[in-house]
Amino acid sequence: MRYWLVKSEPDEFSLDNLKELKKTSWEGVRNYQARNFMRDEMAVGDRVLFYHSRERPPGVVGVAEVASGPYADPSQFDVGSPYFDAKSRADAPRWVAVDLVYVRHLRNRVGLDRIKATEALQEMVLVKRPRLSVMPVSREHFELILEMSREVE
């Protein structure tokens, strides 16, 4: 099993939305490195830290699970979608999606400022490459963030 972090803008799609839907297609990823993680490394059963960005404070708010292998992101073919890609073809899709299912909310949000201030998390991709929207997380970092969520900030 691998561990991941995905970022979402809560005014667009929040962990509460995922909880209500139970399952969603994680689409609209338009960064090649993030796409490659989804296409080449994500697998059914992998655990995912759900991160709310563009919120004060931004941070990890819950856990999801990968529920499908990668498939062609349908939004790349939808001319009405902000994620439409005119260069992508059905026979050679450029972008992928995976399904995520809701697991749980964390007891307490683990804010980005707290993550950055924690010595043991300095090697997280979130700290080193904060612009990525999908990134791997080590098992140790995943477990530490869950532990931190049980503490009051």
Confidence of residue 13 (pLDDT cuts 50, 70, 90): very high
pLDDT score of 153: 58
Query: What is the rounded average pLDDT of the residues 144-148?
Result: 98
How far apart are the C-alpha atoms of 64 and 137, rounded to whole Å?
Answer: 13
The one-letter code for the residue type at 112 is L
Going from N- to C-terminal start, the domains of the chain cover 3-149
* CA 33 from centroid of its chain's CA atoms: 13
pLDDT at 102 over 70: yes
pLDDT score of 56: 87
pLDDT score of 152: 63
| Token pair 């990134």 in the structure block, residue | 135
**What percent of the chain has pLDDT above 70?**
99
Characterise 22 by phi-psi region: left (phi > 0), alpha (psi -120 to 50), beta (else).
Answer: left
pLDDT at 36 over 90: yes
pLDDT score of 54: 87
How far apart are the C-alpha atoms of 42 and 40, rounded to whole Å?
Answer: 6
| DSSP reduced 3-state for 87 | coil
- Structure pTM? 0.95
The one-letter code for the residue type at 108 is N
- Please give the CATH number for the structural domain made up of 3-149: 3.10.590.10
pLDDT score of 134: 98
Residue (of 58, 48, 44) closest to 104 by Cα position: 48
| DSSP reduced 3-state for 72 | strand
